[in-house]
Amino acid sequence: MTHVCLGDVAREIKQKVPVDQELPTVGLEHLDPGEVELAHWDEGVETTFTKAFSKGQVLFGRRRAYLRKAAVAPFDGICSGDITVIAPKDNLSPRLLPFIIQNDALFEHAVTNSAGSLSPRVKWQSLSQFEFELPSIAKQEDLADILWTAQETRSHYRQLLTACDDVVKSQFVEMFDKPGIPIKHLEDIADIQGGITKNKKREAMKLQLPYLRVANILPNELDLTEVKTIGLTEQEYEAVRLISGDLLIVEGNGSDTQIGRSAIWNGQIDPCVHQNHLIRVRLRDEALPLYVQTFLSSSEGRRQIMAKAVNTSGLHTLSTRKIRSIEIPVPPFSLQREFADFATSIDKSKF
């Protein structure tokens, strides 16, 4: 093993696209957090982007590095100026580079060395100082074989999980996409509450409790691997405490595919509260959390969320007021329960 800096084995590519050359276009919104493979891009669209990249190079989202966006390019194309294009040097396997870039330690280094308050960015000069252990070229290829095999297996499982989700969506449409179901605003069937804002003063507060943040909310599920604590007053606790059945909605994200993603809280940690970047929906007696969550992820739910989201400096945001105004069909409770039982059985298959 050799101790190296990223700049010793990789370089930044600063190549411009030839005038009038039509190529696929990649923006920050096309990079999926935590994913090593690029799944989205635009073709045949007008763009102001001029930065070129080549197949096999890594596209690193240098703005808001905490979003963990980095993927290997499957083709030649054009990308946003907020994407750093990285290519390996001769002493690094091109097949291993994407996994070196897409890892927790590098992103932690990137976040620590980012500059700017509203839209922090990390420069290649800082990123290139990331240190790690690197084996010989032969061993690098062995590692790359293992990692890409694991990635392929992961992709196959994801396809199976997607198929399960599609079954639930189809059942939802079959049961509820029909005339005659009463339409209500979400505020008519739920109490909707924002969370507490993080600041330095909270570190000295006597009451310190676990709290959920955006990183804990995945699409339709929770990630409680890392739950941090925050200081708050007793009065704030009464307002933002979580109880089983609460639906948590992400109010801001750099990707339009991630804004409004939600998860149901089942009381895994008690007591627990939530940050202001999550909107809590506490349903009353007319609707089940799983029914409402499925509606929000449906085509109509997503349409409303995207129509209400505001795009400011590349960040898509919602508000409690806009969440309250979402229109949702409210079928008989017995039908919601029937659907919830079906969705739960499919969820067991996913597990």
311 shares its domain with 205: yes
Same domain (yes/no): 6, 113: yes
pLDDT digits (tens, 9 = 90+) for 160-213: 988 988 999 899 999 998 899 999 999 999 999 999 988 888 888 889 999 999
The tokens for 190 are 């739920």
Say if residue 324 is in the same domain as residue 186: yes
Question: Does residue 42 fall inside a structural domain?
Answer: yes
Q: How far apart are CA 27 and CA 43, in angstroms?
A: 12
| Dihedrals phi, psi of 237, to nearest 5 degrees | -60, -45
Q: State residue 312's pLDDT score.
A: 66
Query: Do 123 and 188 belong together in one domain?
Result: no
Residue 36 within any structural domain of the chain: yes
DSSP state of 63: B
Residue 231's contacts (CB-CB under 8 Å, 6 or more residues apart) are 201, 202, 203, 204, 205, 206, 207, 208
pLDDT at 286: 92
Structural domain includes residue 31: yes
Residues 189 and 127 in one domain: no
Q: What is the pLDDT of residue 254?
A: 61
Inside any domain, residue 75: yes
Whether residue 348 lies inside any domain: the answer is no
The pTM for the full model equals: 0.65
Joined together, the tokens standing for residue 81 give 């100026």
Q: Residue 194 maps to which CATH number?
A: 3.90.220.20
Confidence (pLDDT) at 311: 72
Identify the CA nearest to 230 among candidates 268, 202, 267, 201. Answer: 202
Contact status, residue 212 vs residue 242, Cβ threshold 8 Å: yes
What is the total count of domains within the chain?
Answer: 2
The C-alpha atoms of residue 232 and residue 198 are separated, in whole angstroms, by 10
Same domain? 127 vs 245: no
Ranges of residues in the chain whose predicted pLDDT is under 50: none
Cα 99 to its chain centre, rounded Å, is 19
Question: Considering the domain boundaries, does residue 197 fall inside one?
Answer: yes
In contact, 99 and 147? CB cutoff 8 Å: yes
| Res 177: pLDDT | 87
**Same-domain status, 8 and 83:** yes
**In a domain? residue 310:** yes
The verdict on 191 and 302 lying in the same domain is yes
Same domain, 119 and 211: no
Range of the domain at 217: 182-330
Q: For residues 187 and 157, what is the distance between their CA atoms, to the nearest angstrom?
A: 37
What tokens were used for 3? 């101790």
Same domain, 130 and 186: no
Q: How far is C-alpha 275 from the geometric centre of its chain's CA atoms? A: 16
The count of other CB atoms within 10 Å of the CB of residue 180 is 6
What local confidence, expressed as pLDDT, does residue 255 receive?
64
Task: Show which of 134, 154, 171 is a domain's final residue.
Answer: 134
Look up residue 250 and give its two tokens: 């992400």
- Residue 276 and residue 202 share a domain: yes
Nearest-5° Cα angle at 222, 28 to 107 = 40
Spatial contact of 132 and 6, defined as CB atoms under 8 Å apart: yes
In this structure, is residue 263 part of a structural domain? yes
pLDDT at 309: 78
Same domain, yes or no, for 123 and 197?
A: no
